[in-house]
Amino acid sequence: AQSVTQLDSHVSVSEGTPVLLRCNYSSSYSPSLFWYVQHPNKGLQLLLKYTSAATLVKGINGFEAEFKKSETSFHLTKPSAHMSDAAEYFCAQNTGGFKTIFGAGTRLFVKA
């Protein structure tokens, strides 16, 4: 069965320091991979997506993710955290068809 694993349930960083949120996906020939962000009491918003073009994907708000097939990873990074980045982040995978599998989420805390 396909699965998406987010390796950390919580990540805490200081404002201005780098962010790393880790995600591993199920091996698949040509996955589509996504990162979504969810602020409190809001729906999910797409940050970025990988669809077999460039392996380094740039998204909104300074986030980017690198697709590494050999490691089946799609980690999300940002060079410098901002207080407004505090939210829940979900990694997701689609392998064709209409079903997208979501990870359990990583809650990001940003300390002043």
Measured CA to CA, the distance from residue 27 to residue 12 in angstroms comes to 29
| Both structure tokens of 76 | 């999300």
Draw the binding track, 70-99, toward other proteins (x: CB under 8 A; -: no contact): --------------------x---x---xx
Beta strands at 10-14 and 106-111: parallel, antiparallel or unpaired: parallel
Draw the binding track, 5-44, toward other proteins (x: CB under 8 A; -: no contact): ---------------------------x-x-x----xxxx
**Could you give the maximum distance between any two Cα atoms of the chain, in Å?**
43
Query: Site residues (CB under 8 A) for other proteins?
Result: 32, 34, 36, 41-46, 49, 51, 90, 94, 98-105
